[in-house]
Chain A
Amino acid sequence: MANMADAVSLVETRRTARHRRFPRINWLALAMIMPSVIALLLIGLYPLLFAVSLSFQRFLLNRPQNNGMFVGFENYAKVLEDPLFWSSLGRTLTMLLIVLIIQIIAGIGIALLVDSSRWRVLNWVVKTVLVIPIAMTPAVVGLLGVLIFNRDFGLMNYLLGLIGIEKINWLGDPTMAMAAIIITDIWQWTPFAALIMLSSLALVPHDMIEAAKLDTKSGWMIFRYVKLPYLMPGITAFMIIRTADVLKLFDMPFTLTRGGPGVSTELISLYVQRMGFRIFDMGVASAQAVLLLILCIVLARAYIYFFYRAPEAE
């Protein structure tokens, strides 16, 4: 007992001594970190600051004569007054809500199923299969979608035909085209949710579940009060990643529907791209991008505030 106390006091003296001294710089560590810090600043921070500065300028790529003129908040005013910006943002947020709910529920379902399975081989196979959609390039997914959702010879209508459902006009009908994009996104990213949930489930202490089983026979109660708290950090992380993802989702819808028919699948990123690289108004496009970034940060903070509960807190 005395030895223990000595050891503790020794550690404490060392700690205070270290604090008093001038903090030593570990040059080796610094040298090893610096390249990545510099790279991050160059490819992360510099373009961001550049975009912010562009958003206050007149900058038309195809009429470069007066470029660089400071215009104050004019570009932001243009964005905020633009009904198309708001409608495409609304469309994106609706899609976000739908895919988040479905992906999280389905992800948890798959994770619970795999977690409770006793066959190790099955576990391994499922985990491998889950990675495949995530590993696919979104542009390729979009191009595959064009074939799968083709009205006349697409796989989707063929499969629906087998169970007697009439041909659906997937890409030519505004609502169904949005559905096609949502289905594709769910197909690609639900496995990601499942993998995150699986790793979160691995954190749940086994004895805690055993103890809970003594108290209740309801699987739902065990899930709700024992497992779910451990899943919350994973769910929050998933929500943050996917929110950023959906706000900048471009390749897949661009190749699948190019925002059409009409504007029915024009997500916000497609609109920003259109402004920047079709209309070539870089000032307005940058203002849109900056506003999106702000939205993304606000949402991420909100998720953490409302959903994130460390398991110990419960």
Chain B
Amino acid sequence: MRKGFVLFLVLALLVVGVFSATPSRAQGTWSLAEAAKPYAGTEIRAFFLERPGYVAAQQMIPEFEKITGIKVTWDVTPYENSLEKQTLDFTGGTAQFDVVLVDVVWIGNFAANGWIVPLEKFYKNPALADPELNLDGFFPILLESFGTWNNVIYGLPFDNYSGLLYFNKCMLKEAGFDRPPDTWEELLNVYGPALTKDGKYAFALQSRRGETQSADSFMRVIWPFGGSLLKEDFTPNLSSPESLAGLKFRQELMKYMPPDIVAFDHDETVQALAQGQVAMITEWSAFYATLSNPATSRITDCLGITVEPAGPAGRRPALGGFSLAINSSSSEAKQAAAWLFIQWITSEAKAKEYAERGGVPGRRSVYSDPEMIAKFPHYPALAESWEKYGNPVFRPRFPEWPAISDVIAQFGTEMMLGNISVEEGVARIEAEMRTILRDYIEGRLPRLQ
């Protein structure tokens, strides 16, 4: 009798176990509405920027709210203040934001300090993980660089950028070119002189002090020339002949740029192309929306887009973008609700809608869809940049980057202004970097970037 009872119990447990935890059940019946039931009425707050991808998300949120009963609110912050605002939220443990925004260069900072939750907790939980989540569907470079730190996934790619070469086909044609420059050298020696005339300039490289100077201008010329910011042992590599060649190239190229180029941020640069002031710019993919819209651009009919030019070391376009992650200080319920939102907004199923509303999804499937390519002619160049030339350490992602970025921004601008020579500027940046990175160089911190 007793044996029989034990046997029954074991069998019963097995049956329950099989039916409750097998993937087949999850795949068969998982739905967002079901998964969200325990969290209906939960309110989560997201950290957004004032850029097209976030506007797209805002337009899509009502649908998510309708399905799940989870309320999603958001704060829109200028990029320049967003690191500061989120860091204060994390260090204060105030959990003002449940869905946090991680720039490619902040992931090390946020993850190493335990401010964001490893997503394993959710995507391995069958109750919360959409069987169609398909992490492999993201461009690997995006998931790796914006979402992953030390082999742990913390965020899903949401707002994705690659540097592209935008050019004014009409201006190029007028000067006798039927294609954009293929290499940086060509841009300088052939296109530069031919297109700089009558108060117009061949090229504009956004170089305003700040992340624009350090990431968009300085690092952009280091990589294609074979240089890099750091050596293997994390000592600076800016004084290597390759890095110096890149920086000297930038100085030379300045004669074909507007004279106030050090005051150019993204807006000024995009405007300069949109108004026909310059013939070519290398800018983030996200600005396609501005440049292709007749309301904000005069050159919609002349707009050409291709991958960034190659240097002696090949093509190394700028990489940037943001993933969405979850605040560790948020309550369990809010974390789960935030996960459901992030999973939904970055899903393959919503990627097309997100793109059509102005976002730049990180899902590969969208970029091979002929219908989408017809709508967004810059997609092939974008996919090629990510698939072939993606450089996950375009900027290091450790917590010290903001401090280094700041030093580069200062001396990089001084260099461009001619206040100091390239060599002297590099020497000063390297001296500061050695102090900032001392713990890595001397082996007290793991060398992760």
Which residues of chain A have a CB within 8 Å of any CB of chain B?
Answer: 61-64, 150-153, 169-174, 177, 257-263, 274, 277-280
Contact = CB atoms under 8 A, between A and B. Distances in A.
B176 to A, nearest CB: 26
In order of increasing CB-CB distance, the 5 nearest A-B pairs are A172-B260, A260-B209, A171-B263, A261-B262, A277-B84
Given A261-B416, A262-B209, 8 more contacts: A151-B263, A152-B272, A177-B263, A260-B413, A261-B263, A262-B413, A262-B417, A279-B402
Given A62-B109, A278-B403, A173 B260 contact: yes
A249 to B, nearest CB: 17
Contacts of A277: 83-84, 87
Interface of B: 80, 83-84, 87-88, 91, 109, 113, 208-210, 213, 258-263, 268, 272, 275, 277, 399-400, 402-403, 405-406, 409-410, 413-414, 416-417, 419
A24 to B, nearest CB: 45
Contacts of B259: 151, 169, 172
B209 A278 contact: no
A262 B414 contact: yes
Contacts, number: 85
Q: Which of A153, A169, A260, A274 has the most CB of B within 10 A?
A: A260
A34 to B, nearest CB: 28
A263 B268 CA distance: 20
A169 B209 contact: no
B209 A258 contact: yes
B406 A151 contact: no
B410 A172 contact: no
Q: Which of A64, A262, A279 has the most CB of B within 10 A?
A: A262
B399 A63 contact: yes
A119 to B, nearest CB: 44
B262 to A, nearest CB: 4
B414 A258 contact: no
Contacts of A173: 260
Nearest to A254: B80
Q: Please classify the interface of chain A as helix (H, G, I), strand (E, B), loop, or mixed, using the class held by over half of its residues.
A: loop
A260 B406 contact: no
30 contacts: A61-B91, A62-B87, A62-B402, A151-B259, A151-B260, A152-B258, A169-B259, A170-B260, A172-B258, A172-B261, A174-B419, A177-B263, A257-B209, A258-B210, A260-B208, A260-B209, A260-B413, A261-B262, A261-B263, A262-B410, A262-B413, A262-B417, A263-B410, A263-B414, A274-B406, A277-B87, A278-B402, A278-B406, A279-B403, A280-B402
B76 to A, nearest CB: 15
B209 A261 contact: yes
B367 to A, nearest CB: 35
Contacts of B409: 260
A170 to B, nearest CB: 8
Given A258-B208, A260-B413, A262-B414, A280 B87 contact: yes
Contacts of B275: 153
Nearest to A280: B87
A165 B263 CA distance: 21
B57 to A, nearest CB: 25
Contacts of B263: 151, 170-172, 177, 257, 260-261
B436 to A, nearest CB: 9
Nearest to A279: B403
A174 B418 CA distance: 11
B413 A279 contact: no
Contacts of B260: 151, 169-173
Nearest to B411: A262
A129 B83 CA distance: 39
A169 B261 CA distance: 10
Contacts of A177: 263
Nearest to B263: A171
Contacts of B262: 172, 260-262
A62 B397 CA distance: 13
Contacts of A174: 417, 419
Contacts of B406: 274, 278-279
A260 B409 CA distance: 9
Q: Which of B260, B262, B413 has the most CB of A within 10 A?
A: B260
B258 to A, nearest CB: 7
Given A152-B277, A172-B259, A260-B262, A62 B414 contact: no
B274 to A, nearest CB: 12
Nearest to B264: A172
Contacts of A259: 209
A69 to B, nearest CB: 15
A198 to B, nearest CB: 37
A262 B113 contact: no
Nearest to B272: A152
B40 to A, nearest CB: 36
Contacts of A62: 87, 109, 113, 399-400, 402
Contacts of B87: 61-62, 277, 280
Contacts of A169: 259-260
Contacts of A280: 87, 402-403
A170 B260 CA distance: 8
A65 B258 CA distance: 46
A235 B330 CA distance: 52
Contacts of A260: 208-210, 213, 262-263, 409, 413
Nearest to A151: B260
Contacts of B400: 62
